[in-house]
Amino acid sequence: MTEIARRRLNRRVSEFGPSNALVGAMTNAVGPASSTGAILWGLGVAEVKTARRLARHGVPSLQVRLGGAAFSNFDVRVETYRKHGVEYCRAAMDKLQAEQGAGSFILMGNCAAANVCLAAALADDRVSGLIMSNPHVNFAQVLGGSIGKRLFRVRTWRNALGGRTALRRAARALGAAVAASLRKAADDPARLVRPAGTFDPLRGLPDDVIARLRALSDRGVSILIACAEGDDSFHYLSRCHGRALEALQQSGRVTFERVAAQAHVFSTDDAAAELLNDAVSQWIERVVAPAIARTLRPAVPMPGTVRYPFPEVGRDAGLGPHPENPYHRQRGQDEVRL
Amino acid sequence: MTTTTTATVIDALKWILADEMDLGLTADQINATVPLLEDGLNLDSIAIVELIAVLEERFAFQFHDADLRTASFANLEALAKVITARTAGREP
């Protein structure tokens, strides 16, 4: 981090995490805080808007970004996400837990950060909500999303063998799909390598993404997957896992949102990114807000800061929580399950 | 009236940027139409988050959700218009 950038870290933004590798901006809840907090990857203006929406519902949040060279250098950033993504998610949750008393967490990320959030949700029981926008998919998944499934359809081969397919046109379409995928892969050669068995968040979604989402859903985690219809992730998920996702949505905890836009990044100023942001906002209103509202308690004086007016209720010097006062239970005991 | 107010806000913004954001520029050197982000003053996301906090504190207002778009931070003129709209009708 440059000295100038470091000097800016004086109000909202602070360094934290292992070796101060992360920078984060805390947004406090408006009114009484819930025991659920949110970790939002990205310090963009759109994430500020999401943080404030959550704050209005009593959810404090921490916007997080990699600091220093890990942010400004693409290769270092990818490698850092790969090696430390889950660890950094945990560090952010620890910070929010220490500073705001949050006991359960909503994780939100776009692209590779979405995959990191998925990996962290699978690894950490404290996660109760997951927002993935345009999760990163690899070359094989892009290819699978565009042509893969059609190749394995009985109808495709029946049509071809029966002479009902315009073979020249089909070959052209296949060629175009492969060429488009190769162009994308050329930007990031790592995308050519598909993960075998283990889940590397930087190499696309895991092959068994549905099983993993189901495991999270069974654990009580509410999930939003918002994909722009022009994004590779939408094609992959809808074409390769469409039915399974539909079945998963019946469980009520998983929402797969198709956004009529081309945007890939979450925090830019085109209308498409606004639509992605809107999808997240609507999910917050529909899923998060009611769950939080059920568990919020009126604000209470912090123990040790206010002298109770009735000494016979507050024991000894009249300070601290009273065991019979239901509002004086420790925060975190009643975690919100969204 | 609005023009005067916007001009006043632009002047205040120049001083805030020069004093608070460590750009290495004086207020006089900052042009109201130069982009705040890429190809301009190059404020990054950390700086923008800080700037939002500073502006809300100094001008005693809060950005509405609709204001939280990159277009609002395109340059000082755009930013001043947002601030002027949100603080209009208040006692100075």
Average pLDDT over residues B71-86: 92
Q: What is the pLDDT of residue A310?
A: 39
If asked whether residues A94 and A146 sit together in one domain, one would say no
> Which tokens sit at A47?
């994430």
Q: What is the pLDDT of residue B83?
A: 94
Burial of A50 (0-12, 13-18, 19+ CB in 10 A): buried
Interface mutation vs chain B, best among A2, A3, A27, A45, most B CBs within 10 Å: A45
Answer yes or no: is A245 within a domain.
Answer: yes
Distance CA A46, CA B52 (A): 12
C-beta of residue A22 within 8 angstroms of C-beta of residue A64: yes
pLDDT in tens, A37-77: 999 999 888 889 899 999 999 999 999 998 876 677 778 88
Average pLDDT over residues A288-293: 89
If asked whether residues A132 and A150 sit together in one domain, one would say no
Nearest CA in chain B to A4: B22
Q: Do A48 and B52 touch (CB under 8 A)?
A: yes
Q: Look at chain A and report how many structural domains it folds into.
A: 2
> Which tokens sit at A305?
């800061």
Q: Report chain A's mean pLDDT, rounded to a whole number.
A: 77
Which residues in chain B have Cβ-Cβ distances shorter than 8 Å to A13?
46, 49-50
DSSP string for A1-35: --HHHHHHTTSSEEEESGGG-EEEEEEPPSSSPPS
Residue B22 in contact with partner chain A when CB distance is under 8 A: yes
If asked whether residues A152 and A23 sit together in one domain, one would say no
Asked if residue B25 has pLDDT above 90, the reply is: no
Q: Do A65 and B68 touch (CB under 8 A)?
A: no
If asked whether residues A233 and A288 sit together in one domain, one would say yes
Asked if residue A31 has pLDDT above 90, the reply is: no
If asked whether residues A169 and A291 sit together in one domain, one would say no
Q: Do A43 and B48 touch (CB under 8 A)?
A: yes
Per CATH, the homologous superfamily of domain B2-87 is ACP-like (1.10.1200.10)
Q: Do B49 and A49 touch (CB under 8 A)?
A: no
Answer yes or no: is A275 within a domain.
Answer: yes
Q: Do A11 and B50 touch (CB under 8 A)?
A: yes
If asked whether residues A178 and A269 sit together in one domain, one would say no
Distance from CA of A48 to the nearest CA of B (A): 7
Distance from CA of A198 to the nearest CA of B (A): 33
Residue A44 in contact with partner chain B when CB distance is under 8 A: yes
More confident residue, A197 or B79: B79
Q: What is the pLDDT of residue A160?
A: 73
Answer yes or no: is A47 within a domain.
Answer: yes
Share of chain A above pLDDT 90, in %: 38
Distance CA B92, CA B90 (A): 6
If asked whether residues A146 and A205 sit together in one domain, one would say no
Asked if residue B82 has pLDDT above 50, the reply is: yes
ipTM of the complex: 0.82
DSSP code at position A75: H
If asked whether residues A175 and A98 sit together in one domain, one would say no
If asked whether residues A118 and A54 sit together in one domain, one would say yes
Q: Do A52 and B22 touch (CB under 8 A)?
A: no
C-beta of residue A241 within 8 angstroms of C-beta of residue A86: no
If asked whether residues A109 and A172 sit together in one domain, one would say no
Answer yes or no: is A312 within a domain.
Answer: no
Domain residue limits, chain B: 2-87
Distance from CA of A204 to the nearest CA of B (A): 26
Average pLDDT over residues A253-270: 79
How far CA B91 is from CA of A6, A252, B86, in Å, comes to: 36, 50, 13
Which residues in chain A have Cβ-Cβ distances shorter than 8 Å to B46?
5, 8-9, 13, 23, 43, 65
If asked whether residues A223 and A287 sit together in one domain, one would say yes
Strand order across the beta sheet in which A61-66 lies: A13-16, A22-27, A61-66, A36-41, A104-110, A127-133, A222-228, A254-259
Share of chain A above pLDDT 70, in %: 69
Q: What is the pLDDT of residue A216?
A: 94
pLDDT in tens, A106-165: 999 998 899 999 999 999 999 999 999 999 988 777 776 666 556 666 777 777 777 766
Q: Do A13 and B73 touch (CB under 8 A)?
A: no
Residue B38 in contact with partner chain A when CB distance is under 8 A: no
Distance CA A126, CA A90 (A): 9
- Tell me the CATH number at A73: 3.40.50.1820
Average pLDDT over residues B34-57: 86
Distance CA B78, CA A181 (A): 39
For the ranges A232-236, A267-271, B88-92, which has the lowest average pLDDT? A267-271
Question: Residue A147: which domain range?
Answer: 141-184
Residue entry with tokens 């060429």: A179
Average pLDDT over residues A235-255: 91
| Helices (H), ranges, chain A | 3-8, 45-56, 69-72, 74-100, 112-123, 139-143, 149-151, 154-161, 167-187, 209-218, 232-250, 271-283, 289-295
Answer yes or no: is A121 within a domain.
Answer: yes
If asked whether residues A35 and A132 sit together in one domain, one would say yes
Distance CA A32, CA A303 (A): 15
Residue A225 phi/psi, 5-degree rounding, is: -115, 110
Which residues in chain A have Cβ-Cβ distances shorter than 8 Å to B73?
45
